[in-house]
Structure 1
């Protein structure tokens, strides 16, 4: 199925929506304030060499000089066997660099506080499936690709693309990738490295030779090989920069780029803006009347399926099966849309038929086949739950757009008005025993203040009689439900 990209860009934020079949499937968001410089390549100059620290400071044009340790000036060892790594011994920093020397370096750690950025000369350039290693001559494969057959297949495809310029690491995401996709990635990286080398000879010292791509060009890079019918951009500046980028690195996408000049906001197309808002809700309604309840926790994500108003036309078993079948499509879409990763537990409605279970798993597997992120379904457990995993690639949309609620502090629930009323009464008793006061003034939220003066007024009256002191209640409109203060008068 061909896809369409909508790119909404402002100076502070870039958002990319992927549309398939007229429906929002993925959202990518990047905020300028959170972008670091990790991955950037600079032409710097060694400003100081510190033999005692086995390090050097390099001026790369930032406010603080960056830090380069002798151990970071070594050949590529990512894919070298442990016993072979011993030959790459760390030499004395004075033998490796000298003050005033121009050097090409890559940032591996952002500046933090008073510390400058951390650098390496072990430069790598990533794409969707491959990592290019200038100066290397071998092909390495991610250790997370466990199948020996798949590792050999990938090596066999990528090996011919190694040249004098460098070699490649095959990333985990390449598992299952075809020859065309890998070839496009390799060609893209070699063109990119050639561009860096041209800039190296032309640019002055303290210049950026390569900046890690922003969201929009990075998405286009990662979608190389994907069937895209249209790429609409609502910013002329971004559109022109993407035209330049595609012409140089991904010419096959150049004809798909269009500057959007419609009257309504670009994310109102295909109802994308509303879909993003709905993706933050726990409940997802199904067309049949059933629903999903999605809860994201630190350890895992759980998905619960309910029949709701769907009663079916035949019998209960058929109703349950059809609801579960419909839920598989919705689950697959929500995982992509919300970018949920890690362990995912799905609680389908109990099915007594093994055939129904198999068909539900097959439907879930088919629905997930369009997901560009690797997923793995482990089937039903003894408790009737489906265990699956989805590779974590970036923060979920909830973590990007939301923070913990200040009222419940992330619990997802607040204490009832009745509970807070009794806490207030206990606090008055505690303060009365600890301190000498003539009377008490209680500041509480509107709901709690109303309850203490209404349905809980008898409990307050009994307390006043017990401690022999007056208690006055004042409603504080700015207080949240659980908040209150007991003041001695």
Structure 2
């Protein structure tokens, strides 16, 4: 057995790395105290019908992060809806890019795939994963699968390796027969590759590099190549370099879960030459479980890809206030374990106040509580520890 689903834990966060013969083949971040809620089933109430937008807004209750409700697309096959009507919906796309969650209608007793709980019951969300929830109005009825469960379903032969008792305890009952006895951290080379996923620059074969720039509307990827050398014509050499780098770049897109509109600017190629890259791009995309589409080359010579937006991308998770707050906890646990106070601006403080599991993990790792102190003098997303 060579495929392993490895769990590397830090306060409030577990990095999930699927490896095959010491090669990283899949990756996800699991934040038990701040789930993205994809797959969750809610009792909802229609608050506004918006035919011009092709859908309706629904109230999902008072769960933190869902105060703005969700958007329910309506098609010609959707049963008639009225404002104030109660419906059962499943979240199909997480809140991301400044937009709220998207939902679809589902049967009240419909299952949610592999989501049967984390086995810990340590938060309102985690503790509500088994069975239907009693409710008198809009609110959560059943939780969807966690990132661990999603990866375990995608890699059904992978054995699960945890790095700590706390991580091991989060493995749900139905996956515990796949758990490897004992504890083990990430192999050094896998840990380095997981850490490199946080960098905007990606090293590609042949000395090429790519720079990934997320924006609210799209993901821009700029490929750069070293000067062409040897007897080959420059355009021929540049084409070969771009073609050979594409599999690594497409792999990075999957590992980072880059989604939505993706525009790639190949290095040093005339527009007509870029058309020839569409075939290797399509071949690389064929193995992506989200089945992205390559729409062609734009008038500006950019390769245009559309990849389904379901879960937040890694850059969005890391760049959020919550991502910065969890990074602060990780650095304190690793480099300043005697600290007792975390000072930060309002966005980081609010993010940690909304994730009590992360604070509990931090206190357990430090051996003492970490107090939060609001410090408006600090720049946004900055912090200090005392």
TM-score (norm 1): 0.45
RMSD, aligned CA: 4.8
After superposition, the Cα gap between the structure-2 partners of 1:310 and 1:403, relative to the gap in structure 1 and judged at 3 Å, is farther
State yes or no: 1:232 paired with 2:195: no
What residue number does 1:196 align with?
131
Contact 1:40 1:211 in 2 (8 A): yes
The whole-number CA distance in structure 2 between the counterparts of 1:399 and 1:258 is 32
Larger Rg: 1
Inter-CA distance 400–77: structure 2 relative to 1 (3 Å threshold): closer
Q: Does 1:382 align with 2:382?
A: no
Does residue 138 of structure 2 align to residue 216 of structure 1? Answer: no
Asked if 1 retains the 8 angstrom alpha-carbon contact of 2:228 and 2:234, the reply is no
Residue aligned with 2:284, SS: helix
Superposition deviation, residue 78 in structure 1: 7.2
Alignment CA distance shift 1:258-1:286 (3 Å): same
Q: Matched residues in 2 for 1:36 and 1:348: separation?
A: 33
Query: Which residue is equivalent to 1:364?
Result: 281
Whole-Å separation in 2 of the counterparts to 1:6 and 1:89: 46
Partner of 2:243: 325
Cα distance, 1:209 vs. partner?
A: 7.4
Q: Helix, strand or coil for the counterpart of 1:258?
A: coil
The gaps in structure 2 that reach 5 residues or longer are 44-60, 94-102, 117-129, 135-139, 322-376, 380-386
**8 A contact 2:37–2:91 mirrored in 1:** no
Alignment length (residue pairs): 276
CA contact (8 A) 1:234 1:259 kept: no
Does the 8 Å contact 2:12/2:32 carry over to 1? yes
* Alignment partners' CA distance in 2, 1:396 and 1:77: 22
Take 2:257 and 2:307, find their aligned partners in 1: how far apart are those partners? 9
- What's the CA shift string for 1:380-418, capped at 9, x where partnerless? 2233221112222222222322369xxxxxxxxxxxxxx
Q: Tell me the distance in 1 between the aligned counterparts of 2:36 and 2:259.
A: 23
Change (3 A) 1:270 1:362: farther
Q: Is the alpha carbon distance of 1:244 and 1:41 closer, same or farther for their aligned partners in structure 2, counting shifts above 3 Å?
A: farther
Q: Does 1:303 align with 2:221?
A: yes
In the alignment, does 2:188 pair up with 1:261? no
Shift of 1:275: 2.1
Matches within 5 A, 1:343-354: 343-351=261-269
Residues 86-121 of structure 1, C-alpha deviations (whole Å, 9 max, x = no match): 6x7968xxxxxxxxxxxxxxxxxxxxxxxxxxxx67
Give the 3 Å change call, closer, same or farther, for CA 21–364 of structure 1 in structure 2. farther
In the TM superposition, residue 345 of structure 1 has moved relative to its aligned partner by 1.3
1:271-328, CA deviations, whole angstroms, 9 ceiling, x for partnerless residues? 2332233233333222312222222222222222222155255332331111111221
Q: Match of 2:296, SS? A: strand
Spell out, residue by residue over 1:10-67, the C-alpha distance to the aligned partner (whole angstroms, 9 max, x if none): 552222123356333443223344348894779xxxxxxxxxxxxxxxxx9x999xx9
- The residue that corresponds to 1:175 in the other structure is none
Query: 1:23·1:270 contact (CA, 8 Å) conserved in 2?
Result: no
Give the deviation of 1:341 after TM superposition: 1.6
* TM-score normalised to structure 2 length: 0.55
Give how far 1:124 is off: 4.9
Structure 1 CA distance for aligned equivalents of residues 19 and 25 of structure 2: 6
Task: Using the TM superposition, give the Cα deviation of residue 359 of structure 1 relative to its aligned residue in structure 2, in angstroms.
Answer: 4.7
d(CA) in 2 for partners of 1:237, 1:209: 26
| Unpaired stretches in structure 1, ≥5 consecutive residues | 43-59, 68-75, 92-119, 136-164, 169-184, 201-207, 247-253, 405-477, 481-489
